[in-house]
Amino acid sequence: MTPDFYRGRRVMITGGLGFIGSNLAHRLAALGADVLLVDSLIPDYGGNLFNIAGIEDRVRVNVADVRQASTMNYLVRDRDVIFNLAGQVSHIDSMRDPHTDLEINCRSQLTLLEACRHHNLHAKVVYASTRQIYGRPDHLPVTERQLVRPTDVNGINKAAGEYYHLVYNNVFGVRACALRLTNVYGPRQLLRHNRQGFIGWFIRLALEDQEIQVFGDGSQIRDFVYVDDAVEAFLAAGATDAVNGEAFNLGGDEHIAHRDLVRLLVELAGSGRFRFVEWPPDQKAIDIGSFYADSSLFKSRTGWAPTVPLRDGFARTLAYYRQHLPHYVGTSSV
């Protein structure tokens, strides 16, 4: 990606006040893009106005729901690149309330793509998909050749959302691709509850000097991507047509067992402790075991590579939350 690509370019980020979306907004503002953030600010989904502190005068915010067709038809009209990050990311919530997950992760994707098809056919769309669509791996590392076999409702709907993007690319000419994210972590992540992934919750417990409960024996392995590296991957995908019509793994080069991760976290935080506990039945039913991704296909197409080592990334994350924790653990959205 050439640094000049985004200068003056009209960009829209759905879920733009959330974790990855807001970090992407900071980077795009620094690159001189014309940035429009669309976010529903639904409580508990991660949207947080504090996430754009420092760039409020360089971005525009539209509080809107991506499920609203008339709104999307209007907002997409002049955008060059659309980073489609709005979604319901809790696997547990998707099992407790599958219809809401269907609305947000499936039908809303059609709404956005239809808006582009009819009102802005030149837009490039980059969709945030998830490793969860694979289900339990057949082998490690996982490549894009592994069959898609989700173990929960969230994975099913995210897979459908991904395939809509690829079909609209191949049939209707809406340039689109999907990035299958593994565990993205870093500043501006929701810490208020533990339903949007374990890593933010572990960080909060360590900082508050509480006990981290590790399910099972902690031997399950994961790979992690620092949010700045994830942002660079989205920017690279948005700036090239070499990825159009395909889905790509986006994982980290380091993989680590949960038990070693919590040891590292407690060491870096200088507080907190951990204990191994039995798997809760609702979590065990949808667990996929160890998972780490092979991202070589995306690297070969774009030249992207993660640059932030795990230890450095967690040190930066802890430093951010030490300074701003009240903005992320309260009940208010700001």
Per-residue pLDDT at 194 exceeds 80: no
Domain-located, residue 1? no
% the chain with pLDDT above 70: 95
The residue assigned the tokens 């079909």 is 167
In a domain, 66, yes or no: yes
Q: Is the pLDDT of residue 316 over 70?
A: yes
CB atoms within 10 A of CB 225: 27
Q: How confident is the model at residue 280 (pLDDT cuts 50, 70, 90)?
A: confident
* Buried-exposed string 123-155: b where 16+ CB fall within 10 A, e elsewhere: bbbbbbbbbbbbbebeebbbebebebebbbbbb
Its pTM stands at 0.95
**What is the per-residue pLDDT for 153?**
86
75 falls within a domain: yes
Q: Phi first, then psi: give them for residue 108, nearest 5 degrees.
A: -65, -30
pLDDT computed for residue 2 by the predictor = 67
Find the mean pLDDT for residues 38-63.
90
| Assigned token pair, 241 | 């047509």
Edge-to-edge, what's the strand order for the sheet holding 59-63?
59-63, 34-39, 10-14, 81-84, 124-130, 175-181, 247-250
- Per the domain annotation, does 150 fall within a domain? yes
Q: Name the maximum alpha-carbon separation found in the chain.
A: 54
281 within some domain: yes
pLDDT value at 276 more than 80: yes
Supply the range of the domain harboring residue 185.
10-327
pLDDT for position 154:
87
Q: What distance in Å separates the CA atoms of residue 68 and residue 242, rounded to the nearest whole number?
A: 31
- Model confidence at 239, pLDDT cuts 50, 70, 90, reads very high
Tokens of 304: 């992207």
Mean pLDDT across 126-132: 93
- Confidence band for 332, pLDDT divided at 50, 70 and 90: very low
Look at residue 287 in the predicted model and tell me its pLDDT: 79
Domain assignment present for 293: yes
Does residue 212 belong to any structural domain of this protein? yes
Residue 332 within any structural domain of the chain: no
Q: What's the CATH code of the domain at 27?
A: 3.40.50.720
Tell me the CB-side half-sphere exposure of residue 38, using CA atoms within 13 A. 23
**Minimal CA–CA distance to 128: which of 95, 98, 154?**
154
Nearest CA-CA partner of 140 in 229, 218, 237, 257: 257
pLDDT(192) > 90: no
Q: Which residues contact 253 (CB under 8 A, 6 or more apart)?
A: 223, 305, 306
Q: What is the pLDDT of residues 149-163, one digit of tens each?
A: 998 888 888 999 999
- pLDDT exceeds cutoff 90 at 3: no
Residue 295 per-residue DSSP state:
-
End-to-end CA distance of the chain: 33
Q: Provide the domain count of the chain.
A: 1
Mean pLDDT, rounded, for 222-231: 97
